[in-house]
Chains A and B, each alone.
Chain A
């Protein structure tokens, strides 16, 4: 086949709950050119963030680059603030680019987004559940370390008794 760029676009969103109760959505885009030639006029457009639901806090939902060589990676990230509570289903972002052999704009879609549960109520954490989790996670490690320490202590203890007995014999 002819040499053409092959765009793999990775869209990832992370929810961050602020102390004031607001929730920020950090979205990152990674564009990989896994083809065998360069792409020109690369434009990333993400229109899936509804203005009624999200407000752009940092960054821009559109970004352009002049060129992306074969094997290269471009990254872009934005930050949004959630305004409406509920589950949000995001559409993939669109990356358009040009290749010298075709006059039309080429399109590449990013990975779809998993459903985001925005402004969800956090269930109160019970101390018993926390203790169970800690015990399951570190219980075996603590028991092993304590066994080793007890073994070392038992080995070290009779020496002092032997020295006491020998001193008594001398007297």
Chain B
């Protein structure tokens, strides 16, 4: 992956503390001849970045030029896929004593953390390395592509807990409703034998409830008259 010139890229990181880096950041820099850069996401070929969790990537630099290269800083920014406005300027990592001799290659670590309130999705990540050759500053873009930001959360999140609680409540409500329906059906079946019992009251003389009452006496009187 060859380096590419970036004349349109503007740096607006005001929070940088190092004075050397601040001078360099204000200029529009180009890449030096003979310098190649690339980027490796270690053990992360899908380029998935968890929001709020520190992610480390490796910046490779090859010096095929005539002089030593002094590394100044590595920085990155996050952009929307359809818009080149920076969503988040990532922390710039400054090096005070890093150099790459001629005809050699070097690897630099770059650790950053995407804001944990960032919505999950695809973003454009632009990584830039700033270096000096014989006192003159240069910059190269080591990565300009899409990364996938995912949410990092615990196994139980508030939303999941509420949704599962609501599901449990709905299931319990359905169970109680079905029980009520079953009770209603059993009541209906109970009424039918009552009707059968009612038909048996025609034979009043054999009903144990009416034994010894005036109704039985009147019925016996009617029998005597006959």
State whether the Cβ of A161 lies closer than 8 Å to any Cβ in chain B. Answer: no
State whether the Cβ of A49 lies closer than 8 Å to any Cβ in chain B. Answer: no
State whether the Cβ of A9 lies closer than 8 Å to any Cβ in chain B. Answer: yes
Name the B residues within 8 Å of A90 (CB-CB): none
A6-B62, A8-B58, A30-B42 given as contacts; is B108 within 8 A of A111 (CB)? yes
Query: C-beta contact mask, B160-189 vs A, less than 8 Å → 1, else 0?
Result: 011001001100110010000000000000
Out of A6, A111, A156, which one reaches B38, CB within 8 Å?
A: A6
Nearest-CB residue, chain B, relative to A112: B98
Contact B104 A6 (CB under 8 A): no
State whether the Cβ of A167 lies closer than 8 Å to any Cβ in chain B. Answer: no
Contact A7 B165 (CB under 8 A): no
Name the B residues within 8 Å of A119 (CB-CB): none
User: A151–B168 Cα gap in the complex (Å)?
Assistant: 11
User: A149–B166 Cα gap in the complex (Å)?
Assistant: 11
User: A38–B173 Cα gap in the complex (Å)?
Assistant: 67
Query: C-beta contact mask, B98-113 vs A, less than 8 Å → 1, else 0?
Result: 1011011111110000
Contact A7 B158 (CB under 8 A): no
Name the B residues within 8 Å of A156 (CB-CB): 172
State whether the Cβ of B40 lies closer than 8 Å to any Cβ in chain A. Answer: yes
Contact B107 A10 (CB under 8 A): yes
Looking at B98, B101, B109, B173, which has the most chain A CB atoms within 10 Å of its CB? B109
User: A9–B42 Cα gap in the complex (Å)?
Assistant: 10
Query: C-beta contact mask, A133-171 vs B, less than 8 Å → 1, else 0?
Result: 000000011001100110110011001000000000000
Nearest-CB residue, chain B, relative to A108: B105
Contact A10 B106 (CB under 8 A): no
State whether the Cβ of B60 lies closer than 8 Å to any Cβ in chain A. Answer: yes
Interface SS, A side: mixed
State whether the Cβ of B222 lies closer than 8 Å to any Cβ in chain A. Answer: no
User: A155–B158 Cα gap in the complex (Å)?
Assistant: 20
Distance in Å from the Cβ of A58 to the closest Cβ of chain B? 22
User: A110–B42 Cα gap in the complex (Å)?
Assistant: 13
Contact A111 B58 (CB under 8 A): yes
A1-B2, A141-B156, A156-B172 given as contacts; is B107 within 8 A of A8 (CB)? yes
State whether the Cβ of A34 lies closer than 8 Å to any Cβ in chain B. Answer: yes
Contact B40 A32 (CB under 8 A): yes
Contact A152 B60 (CB under 8 A): no
User: A159–B173 Cα gap in the complex (Å)?
Assistant: 11
Out of A8, A32, A108, which one reaches B104, CB within 8 Å?
A: A108
Contact A109 B104 (CB under 8 A): yes
Name the B residues within 8 Å of A106 (CB-CB): 103-105
State whether the Cβ of B198 lies closer than 8 Å to any Cβ in chain A. Answer: no
User: A159–B172 Cα gap in the complex (Å)?
Assistant: 12
State whether the Cβ of A117 lies closer than 8 Å to any Cβ in chain B. Answer: no
Contact A141 B154 (CB under 8 A): yes
**What are 27 pairs between A and B in contact, CB < 8 Å?**
A6-B38, A6-B62, A6-B105, A7-B60, A8-B105, A9-B107, A10-B109, A34-B40, A92-B107, A106-B105, A107-B101, A108-B104, A108-B107, A109-B105, A110-B107, A111-B58, A112-B109, A140-B158, A141-B158, A141-B161, A144-B161, A148-B161, A148-B162, A151-B169, A152-B165, A155-B172, A156-B172
Query: Residues of B at under 8 Å CB distance from A?
Result: 1-2, 36, 38, 40, 42, 58, 60, 62, 98, 100-101, 103-109, 154, 156, 158, 161-162, 165, 168-169, 172-173, 176
